[in-house]
């Protein structure tokens, strides 16, 4: 029987690149749709990208999945957040009753919501939406030592991954999060993976003032000095300065790629998880669509590192998966135009000028 590391390695081997032949066929179809070429901008790029990911000339959006991964963080005791960790479980309860932003937006776009508890420091009541997969009651304080063991890090990834694999159908997948204090480990991970300084990687989180941000930078620097995470070992980074829910989000992305579903990446914490996924499984970024640009300071740098350009810039910085939920509707529009428009030939349009390609997000 394989151990968890071997299982994860085997899963990663099952991630193959999007189908280039299908991309070429989709580009040809997009070229001949009844409109000047390039006039739908990012909708065209997304449609072609999803065709290659799903390996079908008519990319689909009907089966949308939002996995909200939840876990607490010991580093909260350092005063890096305006809120106590009790808010984590209080919000998960709110989500389970459809009262949170992520549930409202996900339901509006027709996405199934799973609330995945991998590390909430509270016993959540039974609820059809809540999947209890608690690995620990939160991480340890990263300013004093490792967040978790390497085994717990691997388990968190496998939990998110296998949650996606259990779904009968998936076309578009996003990972949301709830974990008070989780911008701090995300900033640590961004620093390790991209070489940013702690100052460059640290934002205001849920609304810190300048003095509080400086303190947060100090905590992040201390966490990196104490733990010395190895940038060449993604599991070491997750175990030492990450979060259980960040690991689960990483697994969600891996599971989506195995299932050949488009990955819609949310904000800063989601981008940190996406970077970890790319480090574990080079090339998985080709499955990713950056849903939006968060106001969180280092989000843009992580998207640049992943070579992703955001679909939307709405000034959002809530997290939870909210930006990805909104972007799922854009992906739906991309699929609909591509699948349902007639071609120039079908519409009997002969007097047309084909515009040259316009600048767009790279598919590769």
User: Could you give the CA distance from residue 273 to residue 61 in angstroms, rounded to a whole number?
Assistant: 23
Cβ 322 vs Cβ 332: under 8 Å: no
Catalytic residues: 320
Instruction: Give the phi and the psi of residue 125 in degrees, each rounded to 5.
Output: -70, 155
User: Could you give the CA distance from residue 225 to residue 222 in angstroms, rounded to a whole number?
Assistant: 5
Q: Going by C-beta distance under 8 Å and a sequence separation of 6 or more, which residues neighbour residue 200?
A: 191, 297, 298, 301
Can you spell out the DSSP letters for 143-206?
TTS-SS-HHHHHHHHHHHHHHHHTSS--SEEEEEEE-TTTHHHHHHHHHHHH---HHHH---TT
Within the chain, strands assigned E span: 64-71, 111-119, 130-132, 172-178, 262-265, 288-290
CB neighbours (10 Å) of residue 304? 11
User: Could you give the CA distance from residue 261 to residue 71 in angstroms, rounded to a whole number?
Assistant: 25
Residue 36 per-residue DSSP state: -
Residue 28 in tokens? 């040809």
Residue 24 in tokens? 């070429």
User: Could you give the CA distance from residue 358 to residue 97 in angstroms, rounded to a whole number?
Assistant: 44
């Amino acid at each position: 029987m394989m151990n968890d590391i071997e299982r994860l390695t085997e899963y990663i081997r099952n991630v193959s690149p999007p189908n280039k032949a299908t991309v070429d066929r989709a580009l040809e179809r997009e070229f001949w749709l009844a409109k000047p070429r390039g006039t739908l901008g990012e909708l065209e790029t997304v449609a072609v990208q999803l065709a290659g990911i799903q390996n079908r000339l008519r990319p689909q959006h009907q089966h949308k999945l939002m996995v909200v991964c939840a876990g607490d963080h010991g580093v909260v005791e350092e005063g890096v957040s305006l809120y106590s960790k009790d808010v984590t479980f209080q919000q998960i309860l709110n989500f389970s009753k459809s009262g949170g932003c992520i549930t409202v937006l996900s339901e509006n776009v027709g996405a199934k919501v799973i609330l995945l508890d991998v590390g909430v420091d509270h016993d959540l009541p039974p609820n059809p939406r809540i999947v209890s997969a608690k690995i620990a009651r939160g991480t340890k304080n990263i300013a004093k030592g490792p967040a978790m063991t390497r085994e717990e890090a691997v388990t968190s990834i496998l939990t998110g991954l296998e949650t996606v694999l259990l779904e009968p159908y998936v076309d578009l997948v996003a990972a949301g999060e709830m974990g008070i204090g989780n911008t701090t480990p995300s900033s640590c991970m961004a620093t390790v993976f991209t070489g940013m300084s702690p100052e460059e990687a640290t934002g205001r989180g849920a609304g810190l003032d300048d003095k509080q941000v400086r303190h947060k930078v100090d905590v992040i620097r201390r966490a990196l000095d104490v733990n010395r995470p190895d940038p060449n070992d993604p599991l070491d980074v997750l175990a030492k300065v990450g979060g259980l829910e960040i690991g689960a989000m990483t697994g969600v992305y891996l599971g989506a790629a195995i299932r050949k579903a488009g990955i819609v990446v949310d904000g800063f914490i989601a981008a940190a998880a996406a970077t970890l996924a790319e480090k574990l499984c080079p090339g998985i970024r080709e499955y990713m669509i950056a849903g939006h640009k968060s106001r969180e300071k280092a989000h843009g740098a992580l998207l640049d590192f992943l070579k992703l350009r955001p679909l939307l810039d709405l000034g959002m910085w809530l997290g939870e998966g909210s930006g990805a939920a909104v972007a799922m509707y854009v992906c739906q529009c991309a699929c609909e135009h591509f699948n349902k428009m007639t071609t120039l030939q079908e519409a009997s349009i002969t007097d047309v000028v084909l515009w040259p390609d316009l600048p767009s997000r790279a598919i590769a």
